[in-house]
Amino acid sequence: MPLVEITQNSHPVILELLYATDANFTGKAIYKNARCFLHEKAMPLFEKVLHLASNQGYTVKIFDTFRPKQAAQALWDFCPNPIYVADPQKGSNHTRGVAIDLTLVDKTTGVELDMGTPFDDFTDDSHHSAILTPEVARNRYLLLGIMMSAGWDFYNNEWWHYQLFSPRDYPLIEHDYGIM
């Protein structure tokens, strides 16, 4: 099995897997079980992210990682916009297990950093190239710097989305790992 499960017991993270709740852009739960997986080849880079974030006083909050094919189809059916949702016929980097949606939380205060928009905000304001307040720009650049220093590539239209370089080198994963 190419995927490794991430739990709050296995790693110092906050899991807020929004597709397992109705607090996502569809307004209904997509996942039956809130489980978090990454491809085994992504794990060393993910663990480097945790180390870099912690050294700067932050905890990583994960919104989504591996996304089963059925979930990708449900998201596409609700919002068939290829700028923000991958066409399941072409395959999602999440369905390959090599993408992660995340943010940073201040370890001292427990407050999530202001990134200017919430997760899955499908507007130009969520783009890395958006005109931002100095605080929001600093927070996004902090996340971008941590992720890129750890070896992740970014997606320009979503400040929260990072993936391995050359994600299409990894096959789509058919098994749902108990999420659906």
Please report, for the chain, the start and end positions of each structural domain, with discontinuous segments joined by +: 3-169
Percent of the chain with pLDDT over 70: 99
Please say if the pLDDT value at position 25 is more than 70.
yes
With b for 16 or more beta-carbon neighbours within 10 A and e for fewer, the 86-100 pattern comes to bebeebbbbbbbbbb
pLDDT in tens, 36-75: 999 999 999 999 999 999 999 999 999 999 999 999 999 9
Query: Strands, E, within 40-175: which ranges?
Result: 58-64, 99-106, 153-154, 161-163
Q: Which of the four pLDDT bands, split at 50, 70 and 90, describes residue 10?
A: very high
Residue 109's identity, in one-letter code, is T
Contact 53, 147 (CB under 8 A): no
Return the bridge partners of 102, or none.
62
pLDDT in tens, 104-128: 999 999 999 999 999 999 999 999 9
The pLDDT assigned to 1 comes to 65
Please say if the pLDDT value at position 143 is more than 90.
yes
40, 47, 112, 158: the catalytic one is 158
> Residue 45 in 3-state DSSP?
helix
Indicate the fold that domain 3-169 takes in CATH.
Answer: Muramoyl-pentapeptide Carboxypeptidase; domain 2 (3.30.1380)
The pLDDT assigned to 97 comes to 98
How distant, in Å, are the alpha carbons of 16, 50, 86, 111, 146 from that of 46? 17, 6, 22, 21, 10
Task: Mark whether 16 is an active-site residue.
Answer: no
pLDDT in tens, 90-102: 889 999 999 999 9
Torsional sign, CA 143, 99, 158, 34: negative
